[in-house]
Amino acid sequence: MKRILWGGATAASQYEGGFYDGKGMDTQDCRRWIPRLSNDTIQTRLLTEADIRNAKNSRSDDCRFPFRMGSRGYEYWESDLHYITSLGLDVYRLSISWARLFPTGFEDQPNPEGVMYYDRIIRTLAHAGIKVFITINHYAMPIAIVDKYGGWRHRDVIDLYLKMAKFVVDRWQENVDYWLPVNEINSGYFSPYNGLGIIGTIDYSYDYRSIFNGLHYQMIASALITKYGRDIGARGKFVCMVSCFDYYALHPTPEDNMKLVHDEQINQWWCADVLATGEYGYYTEKFLADHGVVLDITDKDRGILRSNTCDIVSFSYYSSSICSVDEKREQVPGNLVPTLRNASLEATEWGWQIDPMGLRITAHKVYDRYRKPIMVAENGLGARDNVDSDGRIHDNYRISYLERHMEQAELAVREGVDIEAYFVWGIIDIVSAGSCEMEKRYGVVYVDADNEGRGTYKRLPKDSFYWYRDFIASHR
């Protein structure tokens, strides 16, 4: 049986902090944590012009904006890499902060402090024999680009992205094993501010034309940096990534099952179809017409997409979803999009329904659809952790979650699915991308900080740290 590479992952905006040393303000630096809204993230992830204006007028160290502090990984990178190497990870996934390298996005030369920071991390990982997975753009872009172009709604942003991305590939091409141009690229549909840097109206509404043209420009940018990397002989493989939700029909009716097909097409497969096969799916023409979208696509675009498909298809998976034409049913939160309650599953405090077998089902669907190696780029449990009286964190609930999902990944491999790697999300505690809070923890390493930025930020291995270390060692 093929051996899965066992890894861990973080995102720059959620982990680094370090809102100094030349780093510019980015879209995530403008997101507030709003107490008691952890299950309803609309106000934290769909921002308006007023929200941006208030963020710009705030102090740089304002703790209401938790991504400016993150986990203070910019300061603690050395000790964090000690934990990562101690775990025995096969591969570590990290992302590049666009605004740390190019503070406004318009500079001709990168910020040297930012370059030095990533130099140290990437070279340390490579020296330790840990494979390096770089997410070139993960949910953050310089706010100055949003000011001028409205985010990815403008084609000119492709060139700004490519300037940054080409520098990244040029600089670290000898040490990187996997390149992901854009994180969870389909998220721009559900979360236009996070995914595309598009600001909403006062009632948090968006126009479909901006969203789907923005997604198109991102996919062109992804294909172009893939082409560039291959042209210069960069050693790493190129990956695409989408967020997957493993849809089930609520009832065994034709209507609910037809809705399942449509939900998967639009929510899950749209971008992966383009990036993995080089062509838009047959279903997109009707959807765009129904929503009044004229896609800004040229013959040159089609050639670029067709000739520069990804090597690996990756996905994030946290929970499964229920769909039905009966829209009166009770909805519960989920990753990026709400879903209907599944009475057969337990759920987290944040309402995410726990379904380990859903990961295996998703792995089969993705591999069957594209017949390329796949990766589980994110999987993990967000939960409250407490330091016990013995000075340890007994997170057996996280161990159980990970163990059951990893078992399903291994079963999928036995059944013929080509899974290259699996990543525990937020391997070190990070600020939650959905609810903007520190206390929704994912890591196997604890960070002593609360939702208001109070704490020492010292690191403490959880019980899950020792469990994962032993798990990896036993699977070599």
Residues with a catalytic annotation lie at: 184, 378
Separation CA 378–CA 358 (nearest Å) = 14
Strands 247-249 and 339-340: unpaired
Which is it for strands 331-332 and 339-340: parallel, antiparallel or unpaired? Answer: antiparallel
Identify the CA nearest to 440 among candidates 388, 394, 352, 381.
381
Cβ atoms of residues 213 and 280 within 8 Å: no
Measuring CA to CA, which residue among 356, 355, 351 is closest to residue 341?
A: 351
Answer whether 77's CB lies under 8 Å from 121's CB: yes
Residue given tokens 């997101």 in the structure block: 31
- Give CA separation, 254 vs 11, 59, 324, 342, in Å: 40, 55, 10, 19
> What are the structure tokens assigned to 452, written together?
């208001």
Query: Are the CB atoms for 394 and 444 separated by under 8 Å?
Result: no
In a 13 Å sphere around the CA of 312, the CA atoms on its Cβ side amount to 23
Task: Quote the tokens at residue 139.
Answer: 């949910």
Beta-bridge partners for 322: 248
Q: Are 364 and 356 in contact (CB under 8 A)?
A: no
Q: For tokens 């967000």, what's the residue?
A: 382
Cβ-Cβ contacts under 8 Å for 252 (sequence gap 6 or more): none
Calpha distance 270→267 (Å, rounded): 7
The helix/strand/coil state of 41 is coil
| Cα(464)–Cα(454) distance, integer angstroms | 24
- Asked if residues 192 and 46 have their Cβ atoms less than 8 Å apart, the reply is yes
**Which residue type does 26 have?**
D
- Distance CA(363)–CA(395), nearest Å, equals 27
What DSSP state is assigned to residue 3?
P
Helix residue ranges per DSSP H, 396-451: 396-414
